[in-house]
Amino acid sequence: MSLTDLTLHAMQQRLRNKEVTSVELTRAFLERIGSVDPSINAYLTVTAEQALEDAARADRRLAEGQGAELTGIPLALKDIFITEGVRTTCASRILENFVPPYDGTAVAKLKEQGAVLLGKLNMDEFAMGSSNENSAFGAVKNPWNLDFVPGGSSGGSAACIAARLAAATLGTDTGGSIRQPAANCGVVGLKPTYGRVSRYGVIAFASSLDQVGPIARDVEDCAILLQAVAGYDAADSTSVDMPVPDYRATLRDGVKGLKIGLPREYFIEGLDPDVQQATDDAIAVLRELGAELVEVALPHTEYAVACYYLIATAEASSNLARYDGVRYGRRVDRGQGLIDMFMQSRAAGFGPEVKRRIMLGTYALSSGYYDAYYLKAQKVRTLIRQDFLDAFAKVDVMLTPVAPTPAFRLGEKLADPLQMYLSDIFTIPVNLAGTCGMSLPCGLSRDGLPIGLQLIGRPFGEAALLKAAYAYEQATTWHRHLAPL
């Protein structure tokens, strides 16, 4: 087995046993990035020289017995994370040459533990998209079939792990942007509860929805990475000050007696037959493991997509107003005055999908329409959150598909934004409710493309979520299937 095929926890063991060095691991990944990534386009920036220096430093710490949980582990980051001295673009021309002067909190925590940063990963521009075709630097391709999308917006992160180009990554999830690409690429992705992981130093899309989370090869790897970045941060006003449990401590407790809810609104007509079959098979596995499957209702689900695309675009309009060509980012100045400079800089810097969402959000917030659209969407959001809380009074976790279909072909939905938006119909409600959810592999389609199973947990119920996911994973072999690269 190649070093790049190992899971993160297997790499940890080999590093501790001195069977491999961090420099050897890092070189193996850098060589694979050089040979494989040109066909995938997962990386926007590769920090090879810095990575090898960090790996050598990690080896010295390990030799002195001072290594932490992630010391020497080669990781990569979605290019939405602020990284000191490393170009951070958010896959947008407007930030093409932006080099931040500081690290965000999640990045700083990884560095404190001695992780090695291989580079920054491609994404939909400003995290707006479901296919990773909206990047200003070219689409990411699915490692399972290069004619298909990897999902978005963390498509580069999911494709990176599926192609074994890093041990694990961090992505962000605003409406499914970790879970949907993880499902499409056959890897594991976790969106924590809103407030569990600091957003400080993460470029904002929709501030009340964005959340940082891990994408990795298996459930245990996700637990390790979540443990590393979770916790209160005074620099983030939405961070919640509550204890972080030891996620690995209960990982192997099993699901006997666990109540798993099946929301009737998620098992709809029109669900792809392969997705339906894979989900049914997963339900059968969990039942055999001793879980109790219970039907539950989330009655306001039908309003979730419309609600999300009002709230998210309104917040995007507000957040992206700061990109004006004055303080940082791209400036186009024809010398015809301030307003013209603003307009030209934004017109040249933003791509079509970002412009579309800014216009939608600005309209929803405009005088005379605020109450009719944005305010009403916030009221519906409260109803959706209450649906989840009511359901969790009866069950421990819920189980649904991640998406109605497996990955679709590159270009298939670009001309129809509404069809693209519906790709996230099963993931969006979790963000609106502010709770946690994850995707894990549960099958392959007849075209040989991965299918993802979504598990949804109570607010701050990541430990139970990981426990259920681990029990299912260990009873199946889907997480061992590798993209044929």
Catalytic site residue from 22, 131, 153, 423: 153
Q: What is the mean pLDDT of the chain?
A: 96
The pLDDT of residue 335 is above 90: no
Residue 220 and residue 224: Cα distance in Å, rounded?
Answer: 6
Residue 482: per-residue pLDDT: 93
Question: How is residue 339 written in tokens?
Answer: 């307003």
Judge whether residue 199 has pLDDT over 90.
Answer: yes
> What pLDDT is attached to residue 329?
85
Rounded percentage of the chain residues whose pLDDT exceeds 90 = 92
* Catalytic pick among 177, 317, 423, 439: 177
How far is 103 from 90, CA to CA, in rounded Å? Answer: 15
Confidence of residue 5 (pLDDT cuts 50, 70, 90): very high
Confidence class for position 168, pLDDT limits 50, 70, 90 = very high
Q: How far apart (Å, rounded) are the C-alpha atoms in residues 30 and 50?
A: 12
Residue 192 reports pLDDT greater than 90: yes
Band (pLDDT 50/70/90 cuts) for residue 417 is: confident
**pLDDT above 90: residue 12:** yes
| Residue pair 152/132 in contact by the 8 Å Cβ criterion | yes
d(CA 449, CA 439): 15
Residues 6+ apart with CB under 8 A from 190: 178, 213, 214, 215, 222, 226, 436, 437, 438, 462, 465, 466
Question: In the structure, what pLDDT confidence band is assigned to residue 114 with cuts at 50, 70 and 90?
Answer: very high
Residue 422 is predicted with a pLDDT of 84
pLDDT at 450: 98
Does residue 177 carry a catalytic annotation? yes
Report yes or no: 283 and 330 within 8 Å, Cβ to Cβ: no
Domains of the chain: 3-251 (3.90.1300.10)
pLDDT reported for residue 1:
76
Instruction: Provide the pLDDT confidence category of residue 419 given band limits of 50, 70 and 90.
Output: confident
pLDDT of the residue at 485 = 82
Q: State the pLDDT at residue 59.
A: 97
**Using 50, 70 and 90 to split pLDDT, how confident is the model at 98?**
very high
Tokens of 364: 């929803």
Residue 334 vs residue 99, higher pLDDT? 99
Catalytic annotation present for 153 = yes
Q: Is the pLDDT of residue 87 over 90?
A: yes
Virtual torsion, Cα 461, 462, 467, 470, nearest 10 deg: 150
pLDDT (tens digit per residue) in 23-82: 999 999 999 999 999 999 999 999 999 999 999 999 999 999 898 999 999 999 999 999
> What's the whole-number mean pLDDT along residues 208-235?
98
264 has pLDDT over 80: yes
Is the pLDDT assigned to residue 338 strictly greater than 80? yes
**Dist. CA 336–CA 398, nearest whole Å:** 57
- Global pTM value: 0.96
Give the HSE-up count for residue 32: Cα atoms under 13 Å, Cβ half-sphere. Answer: 22
457 is written with which tokens?
A: 């947990």
Task: Identify whether the C-beta of residue 71 lies closer than 8 Å to the C-beta of residue 108.
Answer: no
Active site residue 131: no
pLDDT for position 270: 82
| pLDDT for the residue 389 | 98
Q: Are residues 99 and 109 in contact, defined by beta-carbon separation less than 8 angstroms?
A: no
